[in-house]
Amino acid sequence: MRLATWTLATAWMSLLCITSTTSQGTKGCSGAYTAYVVVDGSESISNSGFEEVRNALITFADQSIRSNSLTKVGVVLYSDDVTAVITASSDINSLVNAIRMLAHPNSGTFTHLGIWRAKGLLDADTSGNNHIMIVMTDGLSNFPADTKAAAAETKNAGIRVIAVGVNPLLNFPSSPYKRRYEQELVDIASDNATAIQIEDFSSLVTTVQDIVQSLCRRDIGCSGAYTAYVVVDGSESISNSSFEEVRNALITFADQSIRSNSLTKVGVVLYSDDVTAVITASSDINSLVNAIRMLAHPNSGTFTHLGIRRAKGLLDADTSGNNHIMIVMTDGLSNFPADTKAAAAETKNAGIRVIAVGVNPLLNFPSSPYKSRYEQELVDIASDNATAIQIEDFSNLVVTVENIVQSLCRDIGKSFKL
Say how far apart CA 137 and CA 47 lie, in whole Å. Answer: 15
pLDDT at 1: 41
When pLDDT is cut at 50, 70 and 90, the band that residue 15 belongs to is: very low
Mean pLDDT of all residues in 88-114:
96
Q: Nearest to residue 374, comparing CAs of 384, 362, 364?
A: 362
pLDDT at 176: 76
| Residue 198 pLDDT greater than 80, yes or no | yes
Please tell me the total number of residues recorded for the chain in this structure. 418
Q: What is the pLDDT of residues 310-353, one digit of tens each?
A: 999 999 999 998 999 999 999 989 999 999 999 999 999 999 99
Say how far apart CA 406 and CA 204 lie, in whole Å. Answer: 27
When pLDDT is cut at 50, 70 and 90, the band that residue 418 belongs to is: very low
Q: What is the pLDDT of residues 125-166, one digit of tens each?
A: 998 888 999 999 998 999 999 999 999 999 888 899 999 999
DSSP β-bridge partners for residue 134: 37, 162
When pLDDT is cut at 50, 70 and 90, the band that residue 171 belongs to is: low
* Whole-number average pLDDT of the chain: 86
Stronger pLDDT, 359 or 76, i.e. the higher one:
76
When pLDDT is cut at 50, 70 and 90, the band that residue 18 belongs to is: very low
Mean pLDDT of all residues in 78-99:
96
Say how far apart CA 337 and CA 16 lie, in whole Å. Answer: 39
Burial 36-74, CB ≥16 within 10 A → b, else e: bbbbbbbeebeeebbebbbbbbbbbbbbbbbbbeebbbb
| Residue 8 pLDDT greater than 70, yes or no | no
The four Cα atoms 105, 110, 111, 115 give a dihedral, to 10 degrees, of -90
Amino acid letter, residue 371: K
| Residue 272 pLDDT greater than 60, yes or no | yes
| Residue 359 pLDDT greater than 80, yes or no | yes
Q: Nearest to residue 92, comparing CAs of 117, 129, 66, 119?
A: 66
Highest mean pLDDT among 86-90, 190-194, 199-203, 215-219: 86-90
Supply angle C-alpha 182, 187, 190, rounded to 5: 115
pLDDT at 38: 98
When pLDDT is cut at 50, 70 and 90, the band that residue 118 belongs to is: very high
| Residue 298 pLDDT greater than 90, yes or no | yes
Q: What is the pLDDT of residues 240-264, one digit of tens each?
A: 999 999 999 999 899 888 888 888 9
Say how far apart CA 129 and CA 235 lie, in whole Å. Answer: 38
Mean pLDDT of all residues in 355-377:
80
When pLDDT is cut at 50, 70 and 90, the band that residue 274 belongs to is: very high
pLDDT at 20: 31
